[in-house]
Structure 1
Amino acid sequence: MRFRPFAPLGELWDPSHRFETSWLIPPAILAAVRALFSVYIFVTLVFVLVWNGEHKSLGGWTTAGDQFVYFTVLTYWGLAFYFAVAAVHTFTYALTGTALLDRFPRSLQHLHGLFYSTVTVFPFIVTAVYWGKLYSGPWFPVTFDAWRNVSQHATNSGFALFEIVVARTAPQPWVHVAGLLVLLALYLGLAYLARLTRGFYVYSFLDPSQSGGPGIIAAYVFGIAVGCGLVFVVVQGLIWLRQYVTEKKLGLEGKLAKADRRPVETSKA
Structure 2
Amino acid sequence: MAGQAFRFGTDPWDPTHRFETSWLLSPWVLFICRALISLYAFTTLLFVLAWQCARAVTGCEASRASFSYFTSLTYWGLAFYFLAAATHTFTYARSGVPLLDRLPRPLQALHAAFYTTIIVYPIIVTVVYWARLYSGSWFDEIYAGWSNVSQHALNSVFAFFELVVPRTDVPQPVHMLWLILLLALYLALAYVTKADKGFYPYDFLNPKEQGSLVAAYVFGIAVGCLVVFGIVWGFIWLRKYVTEAKLGMTGKFSSKARAADEAGHAEMAMTKPREPSLA
Provide the C-alpha distance between the structure 1 equivalents of 2:178 and 2:136, rounded to a whole number of angstroms.
Answer: 34
Provide the C-alpha distance between the structure 1 equivalents of 2:175 and 2:117, rounded to a whole number of angstroms.
Answer: 9
Question: TM-score, normalization: structure 2?
Answer: 0.88
Residue 41 of structure 2 aligns to a residue in which SS? helix
Residue 251 of structure 2 corresponds to residue 241 of structure 1: no
Provide the C-alpha distance between the structure 2 equivalents of 1:155 and 1:103, rounded to a whole number of angstroms.
Answer: 32
**Runs of at least 5 residues in structure 2 that lack an aligned partner in the other structure:** 1-10, 263-279
Preserved contact between residue 121 and residue 231 of structure 1 (Cα < 8 Å): yes
Corresponding position of 2:48: 48
Provide the C-alpha distance between the structure 2 equivalents of 1:230 and 1:161, rounded to a whole number of angstroms.
Answer: 16
Residue 260 of structure 1 aligns to a residue in which SS? helix
In the TM superposition, residue 12 of structure 1 has moved relative to its aligned partner by 4.2
Preserved contact between residue 56 and residue 62 of structure 2 (Cα < 8 Å): no
Residue 250 of structure 2 corresponds to residue 256 of structure 1: no
Corresponding position of 2:219: 222
- How many residues are matched? 250
Deviations along 1:186-243, whole A, 9 cap, x unmatched? 00000000000000000000012222x0x21011000000000000000000000000
Q: Report the residue type matching 2:45 in the other structure.
A: L
Q: What are the equivalent positions in structure 2 for 1:103-142 lying under 5 Å apart? A: 103-142=102-141
Preserved contact between residue 180 and residue 225 of structure 2 (Cα < 8 Å): yes
Deviations along 1:14-64, whole A, 9 cap, x unmatched? 10000000000000110110000000000000000000001133x211332
**Runs of at least 5 residues in structure 1 that lack an aligned partner in the other structure:** 1-10, 264-269
Structure (1 or 2) with the larger CA radius of gyration = 2
Corresponding position of 1:39: 39
Residue 60 of structure 2 aligns to a residue in which SS? helix
Question: TM-score, normalization: structure 1?
Answer: 0.91
Q: What are the equivalent positions in structure 2 for 1:1-269 lying under 5 Å apart? A: 12-57=12-57, 59-211=58-210, 213=211, 215-261=212-258, 262=261
Preserved contact between residue 114 and residue 176 of structure 1 (Cα < 8 Å): yes
Corresponding position of 2:274: none
Preserved contact between residue 194 and residue 201 of structure 1 (Cα < 8 Å): yes
Preserved contact between residue 12 and residue 102 of structure 1 (Cα < 8 Å): no
Corresponding position of 1:6: none
Give the ranges of 4+ consecutive aligned residues of structure 1 lying more than 4 Å apart after TM superposition. Answer: none
Root-mean-square deviation (CA, aligned residues, Å) is 1.1
